[in-house]
Structure 1
Amino acid sequence: MALQHIVQIILLQCIVGIFCFPSTGKDATCGYESCNKGKPGMINVHLIPHTHDDVGWIITVDQYFYKQVQWILDGVVAELKADPTKRFIYVEQAFFTRWYNEQDQETQNDVKKLVNEGRLEFILGGWSMNDEAATHYSAIIDNHKLGFEFLRQTFGECGRPRIGWQIDPFGHSREQASIFAQFGFDGLFFGRLDYQDKEQRMKNKTMEFVWEASPDNLGPSADLMTCVLFNLYMPPGNYWWDVRHISHGGNPDFFRDDKKLHDYNVDQMVKGFIEEVSKQANSYKTNHLIMTMGSDFNYVQAHMFFKEMDKLIKYVNAKQSEGSKVNLLYSTPSCYIKELNNDNIVWSTKQDDFFPYADRAHTFWTGYFTSRPALKFFSRSINSLSQAAKQMAAFAGAADNSTVQRALHHLAAVVGVSEHHDAITGTSKQAVAYDYAQRLSEGVTSGQVVIDNFYSVLQPKTETPPPAQIYCGLLNISICSVTESAEKFQVTLYNPLAKQVNYITRVPVANSKYSVYAPNGKTVIPSDIFPITAETKRLRGPRSKSVKNELVFDAVVPPLGFATYFVVPSSKFGFSAKEVQPSKNTVIQGKYISVTFDKNGHLASMTNTLTDATVPLQQNFLFYPAHGGKCTGNSTEQPSGAYIFRPADNSVRELKLTKWEGVYKGSLVQEARQIFGDWTSQVIRVYYDRPYVEVEWTVGPIPFSDQIGKEVVTRYSIPGFGNKGVFYTDSNGREILERRLNYRPTWKLEQTESVAGNYFPINALIAIKDGKSDLQFTVLTDRSHGGSSLNDGDVEIMLHRRLLYDDCKGVGEALNETDLVVRGKHYLLLNKVSQAARQYRPLAKEIFLKPLLTFSDSQLSPSDYIAKFSSNWTGMYRNLPDNVHILTVEAVPGTPVVPSPPDTTPFLIRFEHFYEVGEDAALSKPVTFDLESVLYPYKIVGVHELALGGNILASDVQRLKWKTKNNKSGEQNLAQHLEGNVVTLGPMAIVTLQVDILTNCVYWSRFYF
């Protein structure tokens, strides 16, 4: 009887929604149906209560959460519960997930109810609001997917974001808009665009438009309705009732609505707000206006802000009885977008991007394209580690391994935090930058957990556990404890690309007599011993005495698989590595590329025998003295800082070549070494069978003794190369955009900074083309930079910055990384224009997704090792077409989008066509392949196409449609790429699939070799 009574209580609690989870959304009133309704014939002003919560900036992520964010969410939820008309939007899932998981069951159920009723709406949905200049597209997708997955698993369909909300990033990329469209978003809002552009848009009423984010490739399916916010993302005028705003010097007017008071001000307040509405209405086309009611970390005292907005709505709307046509309502960005769509008007379009961004004359936000270059590289590297780790966990069958899944989530989360628009941008305080770096380092530790599990599952052939695989994170300065100390060791390379790669492997070693055995344990492969450079010795510090050499060999690694190479001391009669000595030669060359130097060691020319092309090629290191100044209203006093690039007088100072260390010619690679003074050096390499030149540059610490801030650049120059002020840069590593000096496609630019105003973000490459010779010179990068082509034949890339002044944009301190030395790589290509993409497209993938190297120190002989452990394995059993890349392979923990059949493991797999229309005569064509052929021998039980974010079936996405002046934006729903098990991809298309695989086949693959 007691048990029956308990069951009755639980059922009753389920009915009233106290104990059980609320609806996942199918029967809920979230979405467009939940919107507060406006009034016909009125100017409907949509008040958007919101908070912009930076995932680190002035203080760290944790400090922001405990000092502000938790109180914001506590207060907002209480206010929403008390009044069903109120609305609130929330963005940053790095904060919300943390807060939600700390709540008791009753509060969590309250939140679910608010979400299901559309009163609390998640906008954007990313782990952080990512930057758009310095971020790689894979990280942008993963950043949002991480947040999407929490929202899907927790709130169902009502938690799915429909709107992009990039209100604070400092310029906006076209690829970001394309990604949002492919997520299934209906619109995008942002606040920052060039002041000249905004002035023209306000005048022409084009503050809202359809952004054609992939006009030549994806077409209308990548179109996105885009709205520029009038007040950046703040409230209008003095109608900003937040305690943080007041504490920062704000002086808002509060409603004094008791008529007995001497300073009764309701009429004044109403009149002032209606004037704000009228001013904004002059810049927009419809009778709907959006008013952002919030800002950075607003609503710590939510009741105060909401109480004043209640009064604003009450008193402004009361004026309608006197003939006012202004109607205020609580709303959300998605409700506003839906009203614009309902108006069914014709919109203007845009096809370029919003870089560079200037908020006034002489104030171009192009410095952050390069600020903190070491952090930019660290973020890129850990993103690459994350891609490999997801694959490894999937192939090891770790979907149900809670330890591995926690490690993967943590790794994805630290990457997501690092993509924030004050993290990877380098625009936080120094202490916060250290915190970001520490988090990324902790991500490496999580990656090690996944690596250990992968090899423990896939290596053993017997019951003997395999040797520990150690990840060495400082190989770029020749530090690895295993290779420095072990008499013999193994190098295991995991290749995250879906094609075989040949990877020149460099490892620090203590001696000079080694033999390298191939994965079969029998074949000794060619290898070289190079002395480490003087600069590397300096960077190694006290450890330099233990290592004097680098062992270099060419590793062949199978697709989505690993290969183990064995390094043993060479015997008197065995084949050993060739010791390389310096020479006075002035030419380095390989099978395809040769580079010459003049007698003083300066770069002189480059030849590509594949295209029978030779060009004179010069290269210099230079720096722009940075402009000093004060934080005033006068733009002529604008200093250079973390955000802003402003040379003092647009002149540069050259760093002279001070030492030519000669040429080192090995059997696999030849290299030349140069030193430029006390703090800059480089190594230029040509590989035997690679069609590019590798330039490894080292800069820093930048000196300050002369009290001059410095913006250090390298400049590659081809005299006579006629690119006529036109150059090309990538958009987040994907589509290529044309740039022109002193030009913007959508307005007539009045240029105020001839250098900084012509800098653009370089995420993967920058290129120039010569019309006469039909040659293209391309430079690929290993991280994000700013760059330009300021003179014909020049490619200029900023490498490092150290500055004396804060640039008055909020960070409150100078960008002064005192002891920072930065080392990076550029890859130079010289091709016919028609053949260039065939070289740079796959090379860009190889640069981003290098093999993941781990090391072990088993003292077994190669043959004994192979008897116990696999030394060669692949998860790929058929080659993909040459224009297709596997972007993602990961096992899906928890509940998949489509329920999986019994005894299956759902995988999330993304394939992408990585050529654009017209880039290559053959590889730019659409491509079709059969999944069963590619994924053999995995048994596919089911396959479903999802939207790019992996949180909804592609067929269930019904995007709003928009009319445009050019009539190109017709069908704007997601393109479908799947028919049965056959995938068809057009240029630049990405398909996201849930593939249900028979579970025992996941493990079967380990025995394939």
Structure 2
Amino acid sequence: MKFIKLILFVFLIIIVSSSNASKIKNKDNEVINAFLIPHSHCDVGWVETYDQYYTENVSVILDSVVHALINDPTKKFNWAEIIYFERWWNEQSSIIQAKVRDLVDRKQLYFIGGGWAQNDEATIHYEAVINQMTLGHQFLLSEFGVVPEIGWQIDPFGPSTLTATLFSLMGFKYHVINRIDERIKYVFNTTPDIPGSGYMSTEREFEFVWFPSPNNQDLSIFTHILDHHYSSPYLIYPNASNPNISLSTGFDFEGGADNNPSINETNINERACILVEIIQQRAALYRHNNVLLPFGNDFRYQNATLEFSNMDKLIEYINANSSFGVNLQYGTLNEYFEEVFKETDNSTKIFPELVATDYFVYTMCLSVDYQNFNTCANWWSGYYTSYPLLKGTVRESDSILRVGEMLYALASAYDIGFGSDFDFNIGFYALDFHRNVSGILTHHDATTGTAKAYVRENYFEMLYEAESLTMNYNVPHFVGYLLANQTINRDYTTNASLMAGAQVDDIFGISFTNSLGWDRSEFISIEMPSNMNVAVYDSNFNPIVSQVVQRQDKGGKWYLFYQVETPALGISTYFVVVLDIDGQITNPDLLSFISTNEKFTPIVSETTFSQSIDYDDSISSKPVVSIGNLLYNLNFNFDANNNNLLTLKSYDDLLRGQMAIPLSQQFIEYTSMSDDAYKFRPTGLPISLTPINPQFYLTSGPIVQLVTIIYNNNCSQTFFVYNSTTTNGHSSTNNSLISENQFFEIDNIVASGWDKEIAIRFTSSIQNSNKFYTNNGLEVMKREYQIRWNDTLPWSEIAGNFFPVVNTGYIVDEYNQLTLLTKQTVAGSSQGEGLFELLLIRRSNYTQWSVHEPMNDTSNPTIKVRVLFGDPNRIEQIRTPHSLLFENPLLPVFTQINEIGIEKWLSLYNTVFKPLKASLPYNLHLLTMTKQWMDSSVNIFRAINIYELGQSNDFSQPVNLSLQELLGNFNVSNIVETSLSANNVISSEKSNSIITLNPLQLKTYLLNLNSK
């Protein structure tokens, strides 16, 4: 997202000789080495779709650039987005491919970043980032033997510590970023000035050594922040007739001749002087005599000859005139960094260090804001939430992809002794397509919700097609393959509607796949056609307790709840039998089977209707409704200040014997001033969302209790409280680490009117002293509510204190911690003492200037939030495993058993698949088990210690892992530790070696996996 000509800055940059900056190097009379970095920033969808961009722009760019490089060995080019390059590469003749290989070998064509796309850094889960970078890096390795070394994240809307951490693990030496709060970059000294602005300019801190992770001080990456965006060199100067307006002139030769005139004999001296002035200004910002000058912009070099031929004249003219004191040359990023460290004797001592700090919230400084508000009131915290249905669909799709990857890897390594006609190739192609789509959606204008409406719909289409391939082929086929005993069950389907036509005597088998490396015991729900009597049996055909629940937030539909136990990375099958109206089995085959053993006698599901809760002012001082379990109660009462809305008011902590701890929750609503998909600009403080003839319902049963609050304006909330799960027939105790009764869950169904933005806010007695915590998916970042710079505007104080919550946010004091877990990224904040809120959905009638559309989100998504509350030590012990369990639900496949009969079915198919020798400890997460290549038995295996330093006395410890023991059901060989994207060998492991993972340490291995 660019349009630099529309961003008219009204500041002057002043370089102040202060502190250490002036002592670093005397730069007078020294030649400046200016490296022009030819590049083209190619969005993977934004105002046009990915396909349109490729066909109309990118293919033309690559044709033009390659032609220019082939014809002139002095020309160089830097390329980042590999999804486009791979597509173009596959369309080329062998002759062109050979010439391109030569360009790569000579480093005329240089790959930077090297991921599938230039991923967003605020809303994307780290697993998706790793996957998309692996796609790009593996292509470059296999085709060219290239291992990228430099990050190029020039357009994401705020750099995250997560990206710097991951890039360091990928072996990157250098990292280039761009979009940070512009008051950090520039001195704003017009009237009025912005005190403290521009320290990067005054202190020459545009380059630093970034230590991104507080959990691993060994990780660092040398980072360069672009001083003036990523467009070709330009100069901004005041308009003599109107000093409130700035003008620009530059060298983007495809960007319009008015501001970027072509070079000729008449103007070459004038244009050279302007370019030298730009170079000198920028050189003053650095602690050496080298300048990195981006030479490109969005989709530039469709006419590479125009770009290069004009710049050639300037290079020749400037270099021939020593009085300029500039050596100007085309360069690749590595050449720039190599020259920097050559000048500094390969030392980073002259550069500052940045530790565990990110650059959220990004703020753009527009002249209209500066003139109207005397500051840069343009906080880009809105996109953390914008278009939540898309964000949720992306995360759901990635969870399905994870299941598909695991099943394919295991099935490929598992020889069942028959089924030679089983087609693994179709499964690989389906996975490969899903991987590509997942990579596309990491793009910084995709999941962010910042693309045009029809482009966003195109993203949805790609997601649904990818999900469909994985769900309709990979998952059911590979589950059938892995559960085969005498034959393969080819009748599995992921379509839950199979049960929609359920009738008395029907028997359904439901097999659940667990993509995590832990044994799991949890409650699941399956939609039923009505409140019919059913009985549920586990994988050993033992009857288990179940509950049929009516959900008024789903239009009165019925759902079957029961407990499922699955082995680590395995599959378990459960059976649902439809009984008659009296709760009896009438299926002759099943009756015969049950008669052989009394233990098969069914336990009829308990049907629990929704009971209406009516307002009664005579008992308003006491809890009207309480739902709870052995660990806690939730207490609800009517809120006289909001149309007598039934509202959560307090929490009983039964573990500590503390009753009625203040904890309330409600929907709140902000009114938009001029919001768009990027920025958040409400008019001021929010108000409670006012219900319209609200309705309240209570549902209670042996497994789950529900309180449903329907606002009757397309918004509702349903609170879920689960009883304790059991393991192998034994109730979970309070000493169990993870159990379903430790959290309560809220299903938020939301819709927004024009210029309204809805959040869920918790109010507690926690004294958090303006401090709160959000995470980047991998580790927690400490935040503090504060006024930044001189920006005391009411909406800025709100928007400037919202941060991305990838899956976890919390507030804490000495006594209590309130933790909110999500399945998708949202904006989160603590706007006051004891408060924590998540922004759920946004809609605005304001037309955004870059996509020329309002943020018209008419969706009605369900956004789930899990809540952990209580003793901080206990919550910290359990929050990370709970987050992973929440993000990666068990995936069911269905089959109907009536025709074959249950006894015959059980003889043909196994009901459990257990691939691992043991469940992993809770601080060890099996992040990746992927068969990346179709014609190879090599798998990518990643494991991570998910606990941070100091998070838990028990689990923030080194943990050991033996791959041979864990995967003992297979032959494991050729274990090699690699960089994160598996493109660079670190060491070869002995077959019986033990891997040690320290807190939040992530390691990657290549290994051969074959059947024993």
TM-score by length of 1: 0.84
Please give the alpha-carbon distance, in whole angstroms, between the structure 2 residues aligned to 1:374 and 1:439: 15
Match status 1:133 vs 2:135: no
Superposed CA offset, 1:7-53 (max 9, x none):
xxxxxxxxxxxxxxxxxxxxxxxxxxxxxxxxx95211110000000
Q: Which residue of structure 1 lines up, in the alignment, with residue 836 of structure 2?
A: 795
Please give the alpha-carbon distance, in whole angstroms, between the structure 2 residues aligned to 1:127 and 1:485: 44
Please give the alpha-carbon distance, in whole angstroms, between the structure 2 residues aligned to 1:923 and 1:117: 49
Match of 2:1005 among 993, 1001, 1004: 993
Match of 2:164 among 149, 167, 177: 177
Match status 1:949 vs 2:968: no
Q: Which residue of structure 1 lines up, in the alignment, with residue 773 of structure 2?
A: 728
Q: Which residue of structure 1 lines up, in the alignment, with residue 229 of structure 2?
A: 232
Match status 1:367 vs 2:382: yes
Please give the alpha-carbon distance, in whole angstroms, between the structure 1 residues aligned to 2:490 and 2:534: 21
Taking the TM superposition and a 5 Å limit, the aligned residue runs for 1:109-128 are 109-128=98-117
Do the aligned residues in 2 keep the contact of 1:503 with 1:851 (CA within 8 Å)? no
> Shift of the alpha carbon at 1:452?
3.5
Please give the alpha-carbon distance, in whole angstroms, between the structure 1 residues aligned to 2:461 and 2:308: 38
Taking the TM superposition and a 5 Å limit, the aligned residue runs for 1:363-442 are 363-397=378-412, 401-442=424-465
Q: Which residue of structure 2 lines up, in the alignment, with residue 676 of structure 1?
A: 711
Match of 1:480 among 497, 504, 510: 497
Match status 1:983 vs 2:1002: no
Aligned-pair Cα RMSD in Å: 2.2
Distance 1:515 1:458, change over 3 A: same
SS at match of 1:470: coil
Please give the alpha-carbon distance, in whole angstroms, between the structure 2 residues aligned to 1:816 and 1:184: 42
Runs of 4+ aligned structure 1 residues displaced above 6 Å come to: 747-752, 976-979
Do the aligned residues in 2 keep the contact of 1:47 with 1:293 (CA within 8 Å)? yes
Distance 1:570 1:363, change over 3 A: same
> Shift of the alpha carbon at 1:467?
4.1
> Shift of the alpha carbon at 1:241?
5.2
Q: Which residue of structure 2 lines up, in the alignment, with residue 813 of structure 1?
A: 853
Do the aligned residues in 2 keep the contact of 1:593 with 1:686 (CA within 8 Å)? no
Match status 1:871 vs 2:911: yes
More deviation in 662-671 or 874-883?
A: 874-883
Match of 1:764 among 786, 793, 807: 807
Distance 1:980 1:562, change over 3 A: closer
Distance 1:454 1:587, change over 3 A: same
Letter in 1 for 2:867: L
Letter in 2 for 1:844: S
Superposed CA offset, 1:588-629 (max 9, x none):
1122232111145211112333344552111111211100xx
Do the aligned residues in 2 keep the contact of 1:217 with 1:986 (CA within 8 Å)? no
Q: Which residue of structure 2 lines up, in the alignment, with residue 622 of structure 1?
A: 668
Superposed CA offset, 1:483-540 (max 9, x none):
455643222110001111123221111232343433435211111111132x422xxx
SS at match of 2:297: coil
Q: Which residue of structure 1 lines up, in the alignment, with residue 742 of structure 2?
A: 691
SS at match of 2:43: coil
Q: Which residue of structure 2 lines up, in the alignment, with residue 580 of structure 1?
A: 608
Q: Which residue of structure 1 lines up, in the alignment, with residue 781 of structure 2?
A: 737
Distance 1:891 1:250, change over 3 A: farther
Q: Which residue of structure 2 lines up, in the alignment, with residue 146 of structure 1?
A: 135
Please give the alpha-carbon distance, in whole angstroms, between the structure 2 residues aligned to 1:567 and 1:906: 39
Superposed CA offset, 1:530-570 (max 9, x none):
1132x422xxxxxx8xxx31111111111101111111112
Q: Which residue of structure 2 lines up, in the alignment, with residue 858 of structure 1?
A: 897
> Shift of the alpha carbon at 1:851?
1.1
Superposed CA offset, 1:901-933 (max 9, x none):
xxxx22211010000111101100111222222
Distance 1:871 1:364, change over 3 A: same
Please give the alpha-carbon distance, in whole angstroms, between the structure 2 residues aligned to 1:863 and 1:694: 39
Superposed CA offset, 1:396-430 (max 9, x none):
01799332221111111111111110000000011
Taking the TM superposition and a 5 Å limit, the aligned residue runs for 1:199-348 are 199-214=198-213, 216-220=214-218, 222-237=219-234, 245-246=255-256, 251-257=259-265, 264-320=266-322, 323-342=323-342, 343=344, 344=347, 345-348=349-352
Q: Which residue of structure 2 lines up, in the alignment, with residue 631 of structure 1?
A: none
> Shift of the alpha carbon at 1:250?
5.9
Letter in 2 for 1:536: K
Taking the TM superposition and a 5 Å limit, the aligned residue runs for 1:154-173 are 154-156=143-145, 159-173=146-160
Match status 1:889 vs 2:929: yes
Q: Which residue of structure 1 lines up, in the alignment, with residue 66 of structure 2?
A: 77
Letter in 1 for 2:451: S
Do the aligned residues in 2 keep the contact of 1:910 with 1:992 (CA within 8 Å)? yes
> Shift of the alpha carbon at 1:144?
0.4
Please give the alpha-carbon distance, in whole angstroms, between the structure 2 residues aligned to 1:800 and 1:592: 32
Superposed CA offset, 1:422-447 (max 9, x none):
00000001101100001000111221
SS at match of 1:754: helix
Do the aligned residues in 2 keep the contact of 1:521 with 1:862 (CA within 8 Å)? no
Match status 1:914 vs 2:938: no
TM-score by length of 2: 0.84
Taking the TM superposition and a 5 Å limit, the aligned residue runs for 1:965-976 are none
Match status 1:450 vs 2:474: yes
Do the aligned residues in 2 keep the contact of 1:57 with 1:428 (CA within 8 Å)? yes
Match of 1:663 among 688, 691, 698: 698
Please give the alpha-carbon distance, in whole angstroms, between the structure 1 residues aligned to 2:965 and 2:889: 26
Taking the TM superposition and a 5 Å limit, the aligned residue runs for 1:424-573 are 424-448=447-471, 449-463=473-487, 465-472=488-495, 480-485=497-502, 487-533=506-552, 535-537=553-555, 548-570=557-579, 572-573=583-584
Superposed CA offset, 1:563-588 (max 9, x none):
11111112544421101023456011
Match status 1:349 vs 2:400: no
Q: Which residue of structure 2 lines up, in the alignment, with residue 959 of structure 1?
A: none
Do the aligned residues in 1 keep the contact of 2:231 with 2:252 (CA within 8 Å)? no
SS at match of 1:717: strand
Please give the alpha-carbon distance, in whole angstroms, between the structure 1 residues aligned to 2:998 and 2:540: 43
Do the aligned residues in 2 keep the contact of 1:244 with 1:297 (CA within 8 Å)? no
Superposed CA offset, 1:97-139 (max 9, x none):
1110011111111111111111111111111111011000100
SS at match of 2:215: coil
Q: Which residue of structure 2 lines up, in the alignment, with residue 786 of structure 1?
A: 827
Do the aligned residues in 1 keep the contact of 2:38 with 2:78 (CA within 8 Å)? yes
Please give the alpha-carbon distance, in whole angstroms, between the structure 2 residues aligned to 1:658 and 1:374: 27
> Shift of the alpha carbon at 1:835?
2.4
Please give the alpha-carbon distance, in whole angstroms, between the structure 2 residues aligned to 1:225 and 1:612: 52
Match status 1:603 vs 2:601: no
Gaps of 5+ in 1: 1-39, 258-263, 473-478, 538-543, 628-638, 897-904, 956-975, 1002-1009
Distance 1:507 1:177, change over 3 A: same
Do the aligned residues in 2 keep the contact of 1:191 with 1:233 (CA within 8 Å)? yes
> Shift of the alpha carbon at 1:337?
1.9
Please give the alpha-carbon distance, in whole angstroms, between the structure 2 residues aligned to 1:778 and 1:944: 38
Please give the alpha-carbon distance, in whole angstroms, between the structure 1 residues aligned to 2:203 and 2:990: 42
Do the aligned residues in 2 keep the contact of 1:184 with 1:947 (CA within 8 Å)? yes
Letter in 1 for 2:1000: M
SS at match of 1:877: coil
Letter in 1 for 2:386: S
